[in-house]
Every structure is written in structure tokens, then in C-alpha cells.
Structure 1
Amino acid sequence: MALSTHTTTTGFLLPSIHSAPPFFTQQVHAASLSTATEHWIQIILKYARHRKLFTIKVQDCEAPGNDWDEVLRNERINRKLLPSYLSYILGQMVSQKLAAYDPPKQDRSVLIYWRLPEEWAEVLHEWATSTGQLNTILTFYEITDPPVESPLSGIPVTLLRQAISILSKTNRAQIIGIAEGEGVRFFPSMGKS
């Protein structure tokens, strides 16, 4: 079978390397492993952005029928990524700061940074500004589950906290204790110096 790109049922275009059987095996040769792993990292990041997925777990390659199935498996060539290789790939993503183990102190599940926390901070502040939320206290729930879909819909609280922390350092946000737990107040950006 010739290597070819493939469009998944969700409309994601898999690169031709995804149809190469060796791509699903953790390579022994260091250069081959490095190249294949970088391709896997890019596929995972692009697919996560395409589907707005924030987590991937090692077990996602073990059981069919999950959100990652069409990437971690290739039924056309009867191949699937093995858990040990996915674990290695996730470790590489964490070391490159493209993911973080979530929850911490384990190595089987990661929070994927298809946008870096610094980028999420800018998206968050732009959303607060464009929707008239400056100087208003919002709960985390109001941000992650707004009545109107936003770029922040479904963002995990862990990632939201990181973005707010980044904004706090530039005096553009402040976490506030409220009756429902925690909230955040956004402030206008100060002029560029």
C-alpha cells in the first residue's frame, strides 16, 4: 500500500507518514525515534486543536471508541500505537513544555498545550475585553461554560488558572474569593511602554 494522506471522519487530515506501519512502533535507532516522535507530537497537537481536546491518556491507545481513536489507530493498515510508545511521546511533550502531567505526580495522563498557557492568557484577556467583562467578577464556570460558545468553552480549570496567573503578573487579572469558591476580575491592559 502506498503512503497517502487520509481525512478522518472528523475532517482531520492525517499526514502520509500515518500510513507507514513502522510509524506505530517505537524505533530503536535514535534518529528514527526522534523523527517519528516529533511527527507524533505534531499530529497530537494539531488533532487536539482540531477537536478542542485538552487531555490524552496512555489508555487511549488501548481501548477503541475514544476521542483519540482515529489518530492512535490506523485500521487501513491494521496498526495502533502501543501504550509504551504513547507514554514515551507524552514524556517528550512534557519535557518540551507542550504538555503537563495532569493530575501531577503521575505519568499516564497529560494536559495538552495546543495553545501555550501564555497564548491562553491572551485569548482570555481578549475575550474579557471584547465581551465587556473588564472590572467584573466572573466565576471560573462562567468562563469555561458560557451561555454563548467562546474560544474558552471547555477549557480545563488547571489551564484557566495558569492563564489567570500569567495575567495577574502583568496586573491584567486578579483571583478573588467569592461565595461559589473562586472568581476572577479582569483589568484593562496598560499602555505599551
Structure 2
Amino acid sequence: MSFSTYKTPSGFLLPSIHSAPPFFTQQPNAATQVVFTEQWTRLILAYARYRRLFTVRVEDAEVSGGEWDEVLRNPRINRRLMPGQLAHILSVMVSENLAMYEPAKQTRATLLYWRLPEEWAEVLYEWQVVNTGQLNTILTFYEISEPPVPSELSGIPQSLLRSAIAVLVKGGRAQLISISDGDGVRFFPRNAK
């Protein structure tokens, strides 16, 4: 049997391992399971980035027809990732700081870091300061995540945006401000403190 890559209806190219039935099952050999978990992690993050998906839930492996079906199921070989295995993969991703449980204090839903908060901070700073040139202007979180002209930050979850802003605040490039309709942020030049 030969395995091949496969282009999904959304245009995402699945790796050839996605055609291997053992890829979808818990492996008795610990070393093999580690390798499969690493490959699932890369696949989940790549797909999330491609589709701009910020969250994955254990329930996504249970319910068909969702936005994760292209990755978590392979109808060509009649396989799907089981919820328990997805929960294990997500726990490994959280332990490796590639995801975080969102909301906190549960283990069924994660916010994916297909870009780390530090990378989102650079995207945010570049968008705000370089592209718009708005220094010392206060923007609400809503204005950043739902801008009138779509940007790379469109739809970013508030918790991830808050983490990115915290990176900029720590580096002296932004200030978090409480305003009447929520939180806002003011950006400073790179050399400002």
C-alpha cells in the first residue's frame, strides 16, 4: 500500500502519513506514539494557520461536519481521530506551550498558538505602527480584532490579543488602558520607554 498526500476541499495539502490507518489510533509503542503526537501537533497547527482557526475542542473529533473534519477524519480509509487521542495530543500541545486551555481550568478546549504570543505581538505592532502610523492613539481591543479593513489580526481571540499586548507592554512599546467600553492599548515608538 502506498501513501500519498491529499488536497482537501479547502485546498489544504494533507501529508502522506494522513493516509496511514495507524496514524489515527493510539500506539502501544511509546516511541511511535511520541512521533505520531509530534506529527499530529504539526498537522493541527498547520491546518489552523491555513484556515485561521484559533480553537480546537475534543468534541471536534466526535461531531462530523465541523471545521476540523478535513484533518481529524479520513473517509478514504474510513478512519477518524478518537476524542481520547485528541485530548492527549492537546495536553501535549499545552505542555509544550503550543496551545493553552481556553477557558482555563478545563481540558476539553484549547486556544492554538499557530503563532506564539510574541509573534502576534510583532504582527500587532507592525500593523498598528508601521502600516497605520498611529502612535499614541488609543485603540480598543474590538478595533484591533474587528478592523474596518480586514487584517492579519481580524478575529483574533481576546485572550490571545491580551497576551500579545502584554509582550509589547513588557517591552515598553505599548500601554494597556482601561476605557469606558472595555480595554484599550496605546502604542509607542520602538525606542520609547
TM over 0.5, shorter chain = yes
What is the SS of the residue equivalent to 2:76? helix
2:179 alignment counterpart: 178
| RMSD, matched Cα | 0.9
- Structure 2 unaligned residues grouped into runs of 5+: none
Q: CA deviation at 1:134?
A: 1.5
Alpha-carbon separation, structure 2, partners of 1:84 and 1:135: 48
Question: Residues 20-39 of structure 1: matches in 2 within 5 Å?
Answer: 20-39=20-39
Alpha-carbon separation, structure 2, partners of 1:53 and 1:181: 25
Alpha-carbon separation, structure 1, partners of 2:21 and 2:171: 48
- AA at the equivalent of 2:39: H
Deviations along 1:79-128, whole A, 9 cap, x unmatched?
Answer: 00000000000000001100000000000000000000000011110111
Q: CA deviation at 1:177?
A: 1.1
Question: What's the % identity of the aligned pairs?
Answer: 63
Deviations along 1:26-55, whole A, 9 cap, x unmatched?
Answer: 111111100111010000000000000000
Alpha-carbon separation, structure 2, partners of 1:182 and 1:39: 38
What is the SS of the residue equivalent to 1:76? coil
- AA at the equivalent of 2:114: W
2:68 alignment counterpart: 68
Alpha-carbon separation, structure 2, partners of 1:123 and 1:116: 11
2:84 alignment counterpart: 84
* Count of residues in Structure 1 that have an aligned counterpart in Structure 2: 191
1:189 alignment counterpart: 190
- AA at the equivalent of 2:91: G
Alpha-carbon separation, structure 1, partners of 2:20 and 2:28: 16
Alpha-carbon separation, structure 1, partners of 2:43 and 2:95: 17
Alpha-carbon separation, structure 1, partners of 2:122 and 2:40: 27
- AA at the equivalent of 1:186: F
Q: CA deviation at 1:133?
A: 2.2
Q: CA deviation at 1:131?
A: 1.0
Give structure 1 regions of 4+ aligned residues with deviation exceeding 4 angstroms. none
Alpha-carbon separation, structure 1, partners of 2:4 and 2:60: 24
> Is 1:155 aligned with 2:156?
yes
- Structure 1 unaligned residues grouped into runs of 5+: none
Question: Residues 2-151 of structure 1: matches in 2 within 5 Å?
Answer: 2-129=2-129, 130-151=131-152
Q: Normalising to structure 1: TM-score of the pair?
A: 0.97
Alpha-carbon separation, structure 1, partners of 2:178 and 2:16: 50
Alpha-carbon separation, structure 1, partners of 2:134 and 2:158: 19
What is the SS of the residue equivalent to 1:36? helix
- AA at the equivalent of 1:151: E
Q: CA deviation at 1:179?
A: 1.3
- AA at the equivalent of 1:140: F
Q: Which moved more, 1:50-59 or 1:124-133?
A: 124-133
